[in-house]
Amino acid sequence: MTNDYESIRHADVALVIGSNTTENHPVIGSWLKEQQKNGKTSLIVCDPRRIELDDFADIKVRHRSGSDVALLNGLMNIIISEGLYESEFVEKNVEKFDELKNLVAEYTPGKVSAITGVPEQTLKEAARTYAKGPNSAIFYTMGITQHKYGTNNVKTVANLALLCGMLGRPGTGVNPLRGQNNVQGACDMGCLPALLPGYLNIAKSTEQAVEKVKKLWNAKLPTAPGRSIVKIIEGAASGEIKGLFIMGENPMVSDPDTNHVRHALENTEFLVVQDIFLTETAQLADVVFPATCWAEKDGTFTNTCRAVQRIRKAVNAPGEARPDWEIILDLAKACGAKWNYSSPADVMEEISRFVPQYGGVSYDRLDQGPLMWPCPDKDHPGTPNLYTTGFPRGKATFVPCEWNEPHEWPDAEYPFLATTGRSLYHYHTGTMTRRTPSAEFIKSLYIEVNPEDAAAMGLGEGDDVKVTSRRGSVVGEARITDRVPPKMVFVPFHFGEQPANALTASVWDISTETPAYKINAVKVEKA
Amino acid sequence: MDRDVKVILNGKEVFGYRGQKILELCAENGIEIPTLCYDPHLTLHGGCSLCLVEVKGARNLVRACAMPINNGMEIQTMTDRVYGARQLALQLLLSDHVGDCRPPCQLACPARGDVKGYVNYAAEGEYRASLEALHDNITLPASIGRICPAPCEEKCRRNFVDEEPVSIREIKRFIGDWGIASGDLGNIPEIKENGKKVAIVGGGPAGVSAAYYLRRMGYAVTLFDKEPALGGMMRYGIPDYRLPQPILQKEIDWILAHGIETRLDTALGRDVTLDELRKSYDSVLLAMGCWKSMPMRVPGEDLKGVLGGINFLYEVNNGRKVDLGSKVAVIGGGNTAMDAARCALRYGAGKVYVVYRRTREEMPAEKMEIDEAMEEGVEFIFLAAPVAVEGNGKVERIVCEKMELGEPDASGRRRPVPTGEQFTLEVDTVIAAIGQGADLTPLPGEMHDGRKVSSDKHFATPMEGVFVCGDLNTGPDIAVAAIGEGHWAAESINHFIQEGVPHRPFECDVVRDDLGPEDFLDEEKQPQEHPVHCPGDVRLSRPFEEYNLGLSEEQVLRDGSRCMKCGCADVHECKLRKFGTDYEADPETFPKGEYSRPQRTVEANKYYLRNMDKCISCGVCVRACSQQAIYSAIDFQHRGMKTLIAPALDRGIEDSTCVFCGQCVQLCPTGALTENSVHGISRPSRSRVVKTICSYCGVGCELNIHVDELTGKIWNVTTDYDSATSMNNGRCCVKGRFAWSFVHSEDRLRKPLIKEKGVFREASWDEALGLVAKKFTGFRDSSGPDSLAFFTSARCTNEENYLLQRFAREVMGTNNVDHCAHL
Ligand SMILES: Cc1cc2nc3c(=O)[nH]c(=O)nc-3n(C[C@H](O)[C@H](O)[C@H](O)COP(=O)(O)OP(=O)(O)OC[C@H]3O[C@@H](n4cnc5c(N)ncnc54)[C@H](O)[C@@H]3O)c2cc1C
Ligand code: SF4
Ligand code: SF4
Ligand code: SF4
Ligand code: SF4
Ligand code: FES
């Protein structure tokens, strides 16, 4: 998020797109609802489904799945043609306005209405409300990123905010809501093939990266480009990857095209999995390391608004399970490394020297409360809102994007659209929540079906329903609800025995390689 | 805001701001006002009337939560009138309240042992925790677990299901024995000395327990006893085959190891006087028990061969010979009589009679004791009373009169009425076990009435600083009662020394005694576990060896899990009960039974329990839901006297818009809303809080993890609305709040695993790490660094992610490192 949570309290307008906030980020959802209820924030909700937040929306934009870029370009078309954008801000701070203007000119309300299924009047209201502000914030989640053209979606969101100058002030911002507790931190820590900790690009700033690694690790940095998850799985399948180490992930359930992942992992010569349970993935391993869970260790997580927060050991680990950091440390030593850390605080000390954004972060300071990066030095208070004084490289740039048809679109054979996602009550692949009371509340896969479709199929609440895509099928209990529009089903992905990802395609966003979970053409029948 | 409003608060001048409520001003000045319906994070409600204070000039008491201050206001927050009004408010609330704070077993236990706690810890295999929970109220558990008549079991609601209770006593014994066998009865804490001294006279269960609890509070304690060993009647009365002395001794030794001084072979009255003790100690506790055998008051009583029951047992327990002859009559029907009769058999008497005035049904002795005495061959003669002992210089026979049962007496038992018909038993020894009394000779006359020591309910005697407890206070009772007496007397002494007046702790208890088998029809039947029976002849062949070997571990686990966890889940957190206790509110002050709200419901979902019987209509939950959760899932339904809090349209909560965020549960001041402990984790009496961050979504809510201090396990998760470090302002969702029990799941990985021929086997860390290091460095060196790859995790910490990518890059030399950022 460019802005912090407090900023939500200052938003006059909140545009929520592709985020079922109350279900996936419930506390943020509660703030948005509270603001709207108290008449402080106008809510624009853009979602194909009638999500709960839609009940609170001042403007309800039920655009068709996969039409996000068209929708946003359409809003910018209206904003520019009605002269509602911040011309002064754009002139001072953003490059390539003309390119944007030219591109969105094509996205007339009539055309966009046809693509998205949203009435022109609604498009105009949404555009005017957002542009008027005075402070408007955008919130989005996987509904935006998990598409073949997810990056375009994200860039287009940024274009809209830049166009209206909705950055750098409390109540504004472009606010992606992170799905998992420490996605932000894992990225910050350089757990990406192309980037070192602190987003130092190995290919672009090779010299600097090599220098830093030499200085801080006294080691030689490999400069050959690394493989992303998708490529790692491919390499495992083809035999190029011989040794694979998986820490705390369960790709057997979380990754698209389950069957393909199974084949790849089975094919890996030596698979090591470090986890708290013998997950579907761990079962395929050659060695399993028992790790501690979050309540059993010290460390930090970085949340979706860049706040580094301290987690604290509350209870002892079972048996001989050990914290992940200790296991990696001992493994490194066993491989001959001369590492020397005696606690997570020591590691953070090194991180603060490696990652400029974490320069001022230390456990002592975190005991006083969270620190929002960038926090470059020990006297820096942290940065709740980004871009308050402009942009890092002087000027930001518009990156106009065309709308493309999704990779797969319902047709005669697969007439429905299936979208996958989370339930409030479960988390991720369910290894944790399915061992809690939530397991009894929602025992197994359910599938949301619109009443119209249910009636046509003779489907009753709780009946088994089968959803089949070109890749596979799942069976779950029907939940009949108008939260999903006709000809769409929603399939949560927490249930390993009926994995929603049996439906999804190994189709990825071209630049981030985020799987396109949100759109799958399927057929739906009573099981 | 300007602090320009001057207020006289409890006589002190303080300043507040305009519009500030009295309650807020009090809080700022460190004055605590009890509240139930008020919560600083919600709008005002003003219904409970607990926050009443006195304002000079105002005719009525005013609500501190609602009344703003004004210039010159004079406020008194704790006058008798205020105390009385708050007590009354609490009593009214409690009269309209159905439930039971503590379970019936605990209330039946004279020492108020936390039965539900220690039984469930035992059932969870948490023996150490169970032992600690026992020690909180019950000292000497291995000993008590052998000899206690277990009044708790009589009240156990499992009787309603199986006609048999939970084996509370045997479980207690198992835990006590487990402690002894492990060689460690518990960690002896470092004691913070408070510089005060207490003398305790009498080292029976009462005295020893008082010593233990006083010592834990920091007192320097000296235990005086006339005997060379401690334990009182448990040592010198109860025979070894029921309670082996080494067991008792080990438990006492552990208590003494807390730093308690003993003065053995030192009798009050003979070796030391009460005056001396009063001079040298801040307080004196008398716990000398009842060591005088009651006389039969029949002719011939002083013949040689007539013994007092406890005197005989005293000799037995000292291992001394007593020549009983071949025939013995034991007079009396209590436990002392049973012990005397059975010891007489073991001392070579060929024939032992027990002569009792009434019938078997009225016998005060434990049923088990009577059965075992019969099985061993003791002959019972019921409805008979001694009239005379006869003999030439020594006992030769006893003359008895037959009795019949008449009207019930004060004890409720039917009175024996003489019939005039007599019979004679030829015996060599008569053991009179018809009762014991206190030996009052060491005490000044002003302290007793000749039979009993005078005392009030706070264990105080007429002599300042001198207290009394145990059998000496109550008359002959059971050992666990003496333990309870010792505990509460210790508390009262503490209150006396610290606050100047004796005070026995008060606990407010709402009680349910209207339940019966019909209320437990859905409960699955499960029979009680029993120890292996040892037949009478085997017992007699090893006369003083213990023959009850207790329950096996499997039996304890099974039997413990029969416990239904009666009583209120909220007992340790409930504000209503806390204030009821603070203000000594008696829930029975106002008549119960006519509940104003007819629609009482108990409704459970997977996450929490709604028990509207315990709802006080404070509306905190309704406000929490609409103002913190922003759901409005629940509201007041049926206005007026029938008010009930429920989802709209009388739907069940699972069919409402509730998302189980638990905000209402957390803020509910009573047990009307409590976490549903479906995961079977016990609620602890002692717990600590650790602040951490939720491990689910990216919001990163700060959570308070509540850890049971006894087991070291999580038992609850809440949030802190006032935390200075929290980004979520006290809010959270169902996952953060309720989805934590996986932490203690049985399925957790506990050891490294290595797969061989397709199956996992456990391995040591060294082996597993060595294997991975060998393989990975091997691939690196033979197939090149890029034949390796690493998935880090968005669920692991920054430190862990950092280290793994460093490992990949530095040690393995590859950039093949990624994580599922897109999920
Ligand atoms: C034969 C018998 C069998 C029993 N069986 C059971 C049973 O199965 N289960 C059960 O729960 N209860 C049983 N009881 C009752 C139980 O033992 C007593 O209720 C309990 O021991 C009372 O504890 P107390 O500490 O008040 O007194 P006691 O245990 O009597 O201890 C009093 C202590 O004071 C000491 N003392 C006395 N006078 C002086 C003095 N002047 N100066 C210094 N020290 C002095 C004594 O030596 C003794 O150590 C039994 C009692 C008897 C007599
Ligand atoms: S809610 Fe409070 S007062 Fe009521 S039974 Fe529970 S603990 Fe007792
Ligand atoms: S079932 Fe358990 S809690 Fe209930 S009375 Fe029996 S021992 Fe006590
Ligand atoms: S759990 Fe949350 S949503 Fe449900 S009633 Fe309570 S406060 Fe409302
Ligand atoms: S409590 Fe809920 S909203 Fe808060 S971090 Fe955890 S999962 Fe997210
Ligand atoms: S009336 Fe003031 S706290 Fe309830």
Element containing residue B76 per DSSP (H, E): strand B73-76
Residues of chain A found within 8 Å of residue B783, distances taken between Cβ atoms: 242
Distance CA A265, CA A281 (A): 8
Q: Is the CB of B109 under 6 A from ligand 6?
A: no
pLDDT tens digits, A461-502: 999 999 988 888 889 999 999 999 898 899 988 887 887 777
Question: Measured in angstroms, how far is the CA atom of residue B653 from the centroid of ligand 4?
Answer: 9
Distance CA B313, CA A463 (A): 75
* Residue B599 banded pLDDT, cuts 50, 70, 90: very low
How remote is the C-alpha of B315 from its chain's centroid? 36
Distance CA B241, CA B565 (A): 33
Question: Measured in angstroms, how far is the CA atom of residue B563 from the centroid of ligand 3?
Answer: 5
Q: What is the pLDDT of residue B596?
A: 47
Cβ pairs bridging A and B (under 8 Å): 453
Judged against a pLDDT cut of 80, whether residue A88 lies above it is answered with: yes
Distance CA A356, CA A374 (A): 8
Q: Please name which ligand lies nearest the alpha carbon of B739.
A: 5
* Residue A506 banded pLDDT, cuts 50, 70, 90: low
Q: In the structure encoding, which two tokens stand for residue A388, read together? A: 């308050």
pLDDT tens digits, B480-491: 999 999 999 999
Residue A374, preceding bond cis, omega within 30 degrees? yes
Judged against a pLDDT cut of 70, whether residue B695 lies above it is answered with: yes
Distance CA B135, CA B131 (A): 6
Q: What is the pLDDT of residue B253?
A: 97
Distance CA B667, CA B536 (A): 59
Which among B679, B802, B812, B814 is the top mutation candidate for probing chain A, defined by the most A β-carbons within 10 Å of its own β-carbon? B802
Question: What topology is assigned to A416-526 in CATH?
Answer: Barwin-like endoglucanases (2.40.40)
Distance CA A505, CA A515 (A): 8
Residue with tokens 């591109």: A103
Question: Measured in angstroms, how far is the CA atom of residue B425 from the centroid of ligand 4?
Answer: 77
From A21, A25, A30, mutation site for ligand 5 pocket: most ligand atoms within 8 A of C-beta: A25
CA distances from B57 to A282, A420, B51 (A): 74, 67, 18
* Residue B114 banded pLDDT, cuts 50, 70, 90: very high
Given CB atoms, is B734 within the 8 Å cutoff of chain A? yes
Task: Give span(s): CATH 2.40.40.20, chain A.
Answer: 416-526
Given CB atoms, is A39 within the 8 Å cutoff of chain B? no
Question: What topology is assigned to A6-177 in CATH?
Answer: Dimethylsulfoxide Reductase; domain 2 (3.40.228)
Contact A322 B755 (CB under 8 A): no
How many angstroms away from the CA of A182 is the closest CA of chain B?
5
Option in B697, B713, B752 nearest A288 (CB): B752
Residue A134, preceding bond cis, omega within 30 degrees? yes
Given CB atoms, is A197 within the 8 Å cutoff of chain B? yes
Residue nearest (by alpha carbon) to ligand 1 atom 26: B470
Option in A202, A313, A315 nearest B815 (CB): A202
Q: What is the pLDDT of residue B598?
A: 42
Question: Measured in angstroms, how far is the CA atom of residue B662 from the centroid of ligand 4?
Answer: 6
Q: What is the pLDDT of residue B489?
A: 98
Given CB atoms, is A206 within the 8 Å cutoff of chain B? no
Residues of chain A found within 8 Å of residue B698, distances taken between Cβ atoms: 25, 177-184, 303-304
* Residue B822 banded pLDDT, cuts 50, 70, 90: low
* Identity of the residue numbered B762: E
Q: What is the pLDDT of residue B636?
A: 83
Distance CA B776, CA A241 (A): 11
Using the atom order of ligand 1, give the atom closest to the CA of residue B472: 26
How many angstroms away from the CA of B691 is the closest CA of chain A?
7
* Residue A145 banded pLDDT, cuts 50, 70, 90: low
How many angstroms away from the CA of A369 is the closest CA of chain B?
4
Given CB atoms, is A289 within the 8 Å cutoff of chain B? yes
Q: In the structure encoding, which two tokens stand for residue B306, read together? A: 């007539």
pLDDT tens digits, B377-398: 999 999 999 999 999 989 999 9
Q: What is the pLDDT of residue B46?
A: 83
Using the atom order of ligand 2, give the atom closest to the CA of residue B671: 1
Contact B798 A299 (CB under 8 A): yes
Given CB atoms, is A251 within the 8 Å cutoff of chain B? yes
Handedness of CA B806, B810, B815, B817 (dihedral sign): negative
Q: What is the pLDDT of residue A389?
A: 80
Residues of chain A found within 8 Å of residue B790, distances taken between Cβ atoms: 244-247
Percentage of chain A exceeding pLDDT 90: 52
Contact A305 B771 (CB under 8 A): no
Q: What is the pLDDT of residue A256?
A: 67
pLDDT tens digits, B150-207: 999 999 999 999 999 999 999 999 999 999 999 989 989 999 999 999 999 999 999 9
Interface subset of B 799-818, CB within 8 angstroms of A: 799-807, 809-818
pLDDT tens digits, B232-289: 999 999 999 999 999 999 999 999 999 999 999 999 999 999 999 999 999 999 999 9
Option in A307, A328, A514 nearest B727 (CB): A307
Using the atom order of ligand 5, give the atom closest to the CA of residue A28: 3
Burial label for B635, CB within 10 Å (0-12, 13-18, 19+), is middle
Using the atom order of ligand 4, give the atom closest to the CA of residue B665: 6
Judged against a pLDDT cut of 80, whether residue B644 lies above it is answered with: no
Considering only B13-27, B181-195, B405-419, which range has the smallest mean pLDDT? B405-419
How many angstroms away from the CA of B146 is the closest CA of chain A?
34
Distance CA A382, CA A372 (A): 5
Average pLDDT of chain A?
Answer: 88
Average pLDDT of chain B?
Answer: 92
pLDDT tens digits, B352-378: 999 999 999 989 999 989 999 999 999
Q: Which of B433, B431, B428 has its CA nearest to residue B327?
A: B428
Percentage of chain B exceeding pLDDT 90: 80
Option in A4, A325, A433 nearest B800 (CB): A325
From B63, B92, B616, mutation site for ligand 6 pocket: most ligand atoms within 8 A of C-beta: B63
The end-to-end CA distance of chain B, in Å, is 47
Q: Is the CB of B23 under 6 A from ligand 6?
A: no
Distance CA B616, CA B98 (A): 11
Question: Searching chain B, which residue's CA lies closest to the CA of residue A363?
Answer: B799
Distance CA B388, CA B392 (A): 13
Distance CA B797, CA A300 (A): 5
How many angstroms away from the CA of B633 is the closest CA of chain A?
13
Domains of chain B, CATH where assigned = 5-78 (3.10.20.740), 108-290+441-499 (3.50.50.60), 294-435 (3.50.50.60), 575-675 (3.30.70.20), 687-744 (2.20.25.90), 764-822 (no CATH)
Q: Is the CB of A456 under 6 A from ligand 5?
A: no
Judged against a pLDDT cut of 80, whether residue B1 lies above it is answered with: no
pLDDT tens digits, A354-384: 999 999 999 999 999 999 989 999 999 988 8
For residues B34 and B582, the answer to whether their CB atoms sit within 8 Å is yes
Q: Is the CB of B661 under 6 A from ligand 5?
A: no
Using the atom order of ligand 5, give the atom closest to the CA of residue B736: 1
Q: Please name which ligand lies nearest the alpha carbon of B151.
A: 1
Task: Give span(s): CATH 3.40.228.10, chain A.
Answer: 6-177
Residue nearest (by alpha carbon) to ligand 2 atom 1: B671
Q: Which residues of B522-541 are buried (b: 16+ CB within 10 A; e: fewer)?
A: eeeeeebbeeeebebeebbe
Distance CA B320, CA A230 (A): 87
Q: Which residues of A505-514 are buried (b: 16+ CB within 10 A; e: fewer)?
A: bbbbbeeebb
Residues of chain A found within 8 Å of residue B655, distances taken between Cβ atoms: none
Question: Searching chain A, which residue's CA lies closest to the CA of residue B692?
Answer: A311
Which among A294, A313, A339 is the top mutation candidate for probing chain B, defined by the most B β-carbons within 10 Å of its own β-carbon? A294
Distance CA B180, CA B189 (A): 18
